[in-house]
């Protein structure tokens, strides 16, 4: 008998954290940060003893899957960490950036609170740079895709390509239940199979039990060609009207897909004269890793890389480095495409660009990723007429576009297709999705594949 207790990504899409108890050991799968409405959950103590976790397996390096790993170590975890090597490299970039942002935010809030003698009410950051360094001083093991590895005696695992971001994996964990071999699979985040930059999601051939993400369990994306056509239309129309295109984008994968499409537009003379600013230091660092992990890229990207040497470097593209470089962008009246973080608009340089641009009807804001409840991005997508940036109320007059076909998450149709290929599947548990999405997906799974599923609850255990 095995048991899983979930401490995040239950009826929501952030805070992924699941503990598998099997063979007398505790294996944690992901330890992510809560974002949006549930952000305050990051501050509280873990609902478990970190020192009792024996092993940590990471599906990929997005903040909502790795963001609390330094806190876990800070609170007593001393076990081994398993991930792909690309996930480890990306996690180093992302966690370093996370610590920097949290500490800068703390310093700002503390200074303001000190003026009112209420500085004791300011919550400290979850961790600092020294905690991130300690994370990467741990025993960190990096199996290749398809390489079976032993977690401990009687329990083994394998990472398979999830097609979500660089290094992302779904994890198959095998163990003995009495005299029978059992396999439980944690999907992590599975990809959209658009084949634009990364290779597609691998098949899962066999599983007894599946924990599967449902970010888009209630909808299907537009086909890629329609998605790209819609994106091109917004870009061209906005630039021709002397406006600016603002794109809040996640540093990993979404940014690289956008650059790939913009490069093709430029080379095919489809792009009006403009300057493209990649205004995200973290996105700049992660983009440089793509050439290093050549073998994980799509065939089209590999071919382009062989021919041109760099798939993300073309004439109109400017990588901004310093805050001063970023500020000068807003001195340009029109004719820019600005790609900046954060993807959900709750931090990063995109806020400054909104302050200077979102009130102008000539400009366009293009959302190309999921916006969690409680984030500034979600407010805008849901039709907010006014938003607050740096304590200033700003009217929203720019045209707002949501283009979900670029999503790095599989849609309902793709998740169902992936599940349909899994042999011997006996139990499905739904994670990493908002409640409405999970209810819809549960119905679709029953109607189309005749498979029953349970929606995982926060801090509740399931046995199988």
- Residue range 36-90, pLDDT digits in tens: 889 999 998 999 999 999 999 999 999 999 999 999 999 999 999 999 999 999 9
* Angstrom distances, CA of residue 115 to CA of 108, 157, 389, 422: 11, 54, 21, 60
Tell me: pLDDT of 194 over 90.
no
Looking at the structure, give the CATH architecture of the domain made up of residues 224-405.
3-Layer(aba) Sandwich (3.40)
81 pairs with which residues across the strands?
56, 140
3-state helix, strand, coil in the chain (%, to 5): 35, 25, 40
The CATH number of 3-219+408-463 is which of 3.30.70.20, 3.40.50.1820, 3.40.50.2300, 3.60.15.10? 3.60.15.10
pLDDT score, position 209: 99
User: Does the pLDDT of residue 309 top 80, yes or no?
Assistant: no
What integer pLDDT is reported at residue 87 of this predicted model?
A: 99
State the average pLDDT over residues 147-171.
Answer: 98
Where, residue-wise, is CATH 3.40.50.10890 in the chain?
Answer: 224-405
Give the residues across from 3 on adjacent strands: 21, 463
Over the stretch 247-300, which tens digit does the pLDDT of each residue have? 999 899 899 999 999 999 999 999 999 999 999 999 999 998 988 898 999 998
What pLDDT, on the 0 to 100 scale, is given for residue 415? 99
Q: How distant, in Å, are the alpha carbons of 15, 44, 237, 306 from that of 33?
A: 5, 12, 38, 37
The whole-number pLDDT of residue 26 equals: 99
Cis peptide before 263 (omega within 30 of 0): no
CATH 3.60.15.10 in the chain, residue ranges: 3-219+408-463
Q: Judge whether residue 369 has pLDDT over 90.
A: no
In whole angstroms, give the CA distance from residue 292 to residue 312.
13
How many residues comprise the chain?
464
Q: pLDDT band at 22, cuts 50/70/90?
A: very high
- Predicted TM-score (pTM) of the model is 0.93
CA 31 to chain centre: 13
């Amino acid at each position: 008998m095995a048991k899983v207790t979930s401490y995040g990504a239950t009826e929501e899409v952030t805070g992924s954290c699941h503990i598998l108890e099997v063979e007398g050991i505790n294996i944690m799968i992901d330890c992510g940060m809560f974002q949006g409405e549930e952000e305050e959950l990051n501050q509280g103590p873990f609902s478990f003893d970190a020192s009792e976790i024996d092993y940590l397996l990471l599906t990929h390096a997005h903040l909502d899957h790795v963001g609390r790993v330094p806190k876990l170590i800070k609170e007593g975890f001393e076990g081994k960490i398993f991930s792909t090597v690309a996930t480890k490299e990306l996690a180093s970039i992302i966690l370093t950036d996370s610590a920097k942002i949290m500490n800068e935010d703390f310093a700002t809030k503390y200074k303001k609170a000190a003026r009112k003698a209420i500085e004791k009410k300011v919550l400290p950051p979850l961790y600092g740079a020294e905690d991130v360094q300690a994370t990467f001083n741990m025993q960190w093991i990096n199996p290749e895709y398809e390489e079976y590895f032993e977690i401990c005696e009687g329990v083994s695992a394998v990472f398979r390509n999830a097609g979500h971001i660089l290094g992302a994996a779904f994890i198959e964990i095998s163990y003995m239940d009495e005299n029978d071999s059992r396999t439980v699979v944690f999907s992590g985040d599975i990809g959209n199979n658009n084949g634009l930059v990364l290779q597609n999601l691998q098949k899962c051939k066999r599983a007894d039990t599946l924990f599967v993400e449902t970010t888009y369990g209630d909808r299907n994306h537009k086909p890629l060609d329609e998605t790209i056509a819609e994106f091109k239309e917004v870009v061209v129309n906005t630039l021709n009207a002397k406006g600016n295109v603002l794109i809040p984008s996640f540093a990993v994968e979404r940014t690289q897909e956008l650059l790939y499409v913009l490069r093709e537009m430029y080379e095919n003379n489809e792009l009006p004269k403009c300057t493209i600013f990649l205004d995200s230091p973290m996105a700049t660092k992660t983009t440089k890793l793509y050439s290093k992990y050549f073998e994980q890229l799509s065939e089209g990207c590999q071919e382009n890389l062989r021919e041109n040497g760099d798939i993300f470097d073309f004439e109109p593209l400017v990588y901004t480095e310093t805050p001063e470089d970023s500020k000068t962008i807003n001195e340009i009246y029109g004719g820019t495409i600005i790609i900046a973080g954060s993807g959900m608009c709750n931090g990063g340089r995109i806020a400054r660009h909104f302050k200077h641009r979102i009130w102008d009807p000539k400009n366009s804001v293009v959302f190309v990723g999921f916006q969690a409840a409680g984030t500034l991005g979600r407010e805008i997508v849901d039709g907010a007429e006014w938003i607050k940036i740096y304590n200033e109320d700003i009217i929203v007059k720019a045209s707002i576009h949501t283009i979900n076909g670029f999503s790095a998450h599989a849609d309902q149709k793709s998740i169902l297709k992936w599940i349909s290929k899994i042999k011997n599947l006996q139990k499905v548990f739904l994670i990493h999705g908002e409640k409405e999405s999970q209810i819809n997906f549960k119905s679709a799974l029953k109607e189309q594949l005749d498979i029953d599923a349970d929606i995982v609850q926060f801090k509740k255990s399931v046995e199988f």
